[in-house]
């Protein structure tokens, strides 16, 4: 059972906000977090349990209790990255290093947590409303399972290079845009015991999350990011062993008893 928490800024499409974006509400009638949660739930009740959280909740909905009960955290944010509390970012950061998976969607490239884990600015170029195709350039990766050589995403916000990220472990997907741009649209990173996937689609006023392959990729990523291991962290411990100790400990029978 993979415990997934979908975190959303919940501003553009929040019907209670004065400055709400009607187009975003049309795309995400129950909030973008519910749009994404629905994708994850398709993996089945025996495989995943899904909760949601958002910015305006106490501790942004990411209490110690919630995070300790989360295997994979999905993050979407855009206009309010600066309102996320540094103490909560630190908490998420530590959980990632301890083994929690993190999926950063679209404009989450500029979230505090993603920038902190990269050690870079995570800047990019952008333009709303381009036509996008996505290519699979590492088809052997588990996140690419069931994804064709390329698929049509249609209208999406264009993100362009140079994308100022740390060298990824793997670039799995490449985006092509009709306005003359390319982008490393699907990338993985590891930090400590945690696995991270960045995925570019998901603008608040487009329908990327309805695309069957986008859904499959997010589902694959949830499974790939999951780990049942928690790291045995300690702060720069001193080594107690010596070669003599190793040898004494394993002295009998020419070490053969050791097996």
Residues between 233 and 252 that touch a second copy (CB under 8 A): 233-243, 246-247, 250
Q: Is 243 helix (H, G, I), strand (E, B) or coil?
A: helix
Site for a second copy in 126-155 (CB under 8 A): 126-127, 131, 133, 135-141, 144-146, 148-150, 152, 154-155
For position 15 contacting a second copy by CB under 8 A, the verdict is no
- Helices 212-225, 32-41: crossing angle, 10 deg rounding: 70
Q: In which residue are the tokens 């290093």 written?
A: 97
Site for a second copy in 184-243 (CB under 8 A): 184, 189-195, 207-208, 210-211, 227-229, 231-243
| Cα 83 to the center of its chain, rounded Å | 19
CB atoms within 10 A of CB 51: 15
Determine if the peptide bond prior to 162 is cis (ω within 30°): yes
Q: In which residue are the tokens 């993603």 written?
A: 114
Q: Toward a second copy, which CB reaches closer, 11 or 184?
A: 184
29, 79, 119, 248: which one binds a second copy (CB under 8 A):
119
Q: Toward a second copy, which CB reaches closer, 14 or 219?
A: 219
Smallest separation, CB 18 to a second copy (Å): 26
Give the Cα-Cα-Cα angle 53, 26, 127 (nearest 5 degrees). Answer: 85
Q: Give the separation between CA 68 and CA 50, rounded to whole angstroms.
A: 14
Looking at residue 20, the DSSP 8-state letter turns out to be: -
Smallest separation, CB 242 to a second copy (Å): 5
Q: Toward a second copy, which CB reaches closer, 17 or 125?
A: 125
Site for a second copy in 46-85 (CB under 8 A): none
Smallest separation, CB 22 to a second copy (Å): 16
For position 110 contacting a second copy by CB under 8 A, the verdict is yes
**Tokens, residue 245:** 């100790």
Smallest separation, CB 57 to a second copy (Å): 26
For position 90 contacting a second copy by CB under 8 A, the verdict is no
Contact between 109 and 166 under an 8 Å Cβ cutoff? The reply is: no
Smallest separation, CB 70 to a second copy (Å): 16
Q: How would you classify the pairing of strands 101-105 and 150-160?
A: unpaired
Q: Toward a second copy, which CB reaches closer, 30 or 123?
A: 123
């Amino acid at each position: 059972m993979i415990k997934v928490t979908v975190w959303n800024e919940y501003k553009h499409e929040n019907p209670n906000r004065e400055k709400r974006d009607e187009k975003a509400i049309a795309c995400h009638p129950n909030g973008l977090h519910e749009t994404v949660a629905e994708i994850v739930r398709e993996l089945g009740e025996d495989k995943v349990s899904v909760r949601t959280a958002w910015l305006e909740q106490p501790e942004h909905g990411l209490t110690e209790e919630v995070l300790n009960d989360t295997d994979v955290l999905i993050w979407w944010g855009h206009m309010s990255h600066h309102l996320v509390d540094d103490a909560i970012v630190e908490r998420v950061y530590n959980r990632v290093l301890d083994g929690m998976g993190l999926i950063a969607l679209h404009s989450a490239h500029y979230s505090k947590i993603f920038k902190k884990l990269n050690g870079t600015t995570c800047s990019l170029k952008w333009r709303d409303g381009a036509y996008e195709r996505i290519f699979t350039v590492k088809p052997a990766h588990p996140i690419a399972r069931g994804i064709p050589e390329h698929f049509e995403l249609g209208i999406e916000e264009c993100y362009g290079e140079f994308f100022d990220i740390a060298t990824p472990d793997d670039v799995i997907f490449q985006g092509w845009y009709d306005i003359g741009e390319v982008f490393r649209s699907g990338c993985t990173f590891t930090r400590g015991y945690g696995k991270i996937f960045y995925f570019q689609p998901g603008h608040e006023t487009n329908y990327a999350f309805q695309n069957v392959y986008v859904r499959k990729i997010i589902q694959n990523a949830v499974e790939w990011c999951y780990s049942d291991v928690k790291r045995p962290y300690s702060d720069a411990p001193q080594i107690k062993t010596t070669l003599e100790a190793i040898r004494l400990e394993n002295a009998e029978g020419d070490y053969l008893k050791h097996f």
